[in-house]
Amino acid sequence: MGGAAVTVPVIGTIRTPFGSKFAVPRQGGGNCPAHGRVILEPPYSAPSAVKGLEGFSHLHLIFHFHLAGPGPFHATVRPPRLGGNTRLGVFATRSPYRPSRLGLSVVRLLGVEVQAGRAQLVVEGVDLVDGTPIIDIKPYLPRFDAIPGASAGFAGGPPPSLGVEVAPGAQARFGALPRAERESILAILAQDPRPAYRGAGDGHRYGATLFGHNIVFFLDGGRILITAVED
């Protein structure tokens, strides 16, 4: 058993509005309407390979946490949700720094499209960095996959939710963004994407790459204040 491994092909990549790991909404973000597009690569992009998928409302995506890079096995991680100071077993978390470097997300399927003879999937509720390699696509089967009464350990509480405001100097640029992008940005920042080891009022200025813009913000008296929208 020791040293056994499995090699799995990359079947495509996903395009998303999230240009960097920082500020990607955690686990789909729930109320975040951001869309993504799974672009399958030959031979997996044959339209016949997704025949019947349009009958499902949701999909599982198995993907490669490619930005985590390779590295030695660490049995424990410090989940951001616990403030970054508590160590938990890596298999008790959804951390990217797991032996497989594989992630799992449920997304809503909005449509199946064929471009230049290749299948693409339009999905909603993505929490993946732009360009993430996709390893597998599986239909979500509510009879087996949906367990609403499951209990969820440390992850069971409500997510953080901060107030988000736009500073006067940034309102013109922010207001010029499409409505869906504005709503997504506000929803993502409300989840407090700052690194977990930061305190409640660290004054540090952060930049998140969202929808091709650098959104500059900092924590100001318990709320997130957006101070600039840069290209």
Positions in 6-45 near a copy of itself (CB under 8 A): 6-13, 27-28, 30, 41-44
Q: Which of residues 84-143 bind a copy of itself (CB under 8 A)?
A: 87-94, 98-102, 104-106, 133, 135-143
Among 69, 148, 168, 178, binds a copy of itself (CB under 8 A): 148
Q: What tokens were used for 135?
A: 């390893």
Between residues 4 and 176, which has the closer beta carbon with respect to a copy of itself?
4
Place of tokens 């495509």: 12
- Cis geometry, peptide bond prior to residue 139 (ω within 30 degrees of 0): no
Q: Which of residues 58-87 bind a copy of itself (CB under 8 A)?
A: 58, 60, 62, 64, 73, 75-76, 87
Q: Are 176 and 213 in contact (CB under 8 A)?
A: no
**Residues linked to residue 164 through DSSP beta bridges, in sequence order:** 224
**Closest CB 96 distance from a copy of itself, rounded Å:** 12
Q: Decide if residue 57 touches a copy of itself (CB under 8 A).
A: yes
How many residues can be counted in the chain?
231
Among 83, 84, 115, 146, binds a copy of itself (CB under 8 A): 146
Among 111, 114, 145, 201, binds a copy of itself (CB under 8 A): 145
Strands 213-220 and 76-77 come out as: unpaired
Among 114, 129, 150, 221, binds a copy of itself (CB under 8 A): 150
Q: Are 13 and 39 in contact (CB under 8 A)?
A: yes
Identify which of 195, 196, 227, 201 has the alpha carbon closest to the alpha carbon of residue 214. 227
The torsion angles phi and psi of 229, rounded to 5 degrees, stand at -125, 110
**Closest CB 120 distance from a copy of itself, rounded Å:** 12
Q: Which of residues 180-219 bind a copy of itself (CB under 8 A)?
A: none
**Residues linked to residue 109 through DSSP beta bridges, in sequence order:** 123
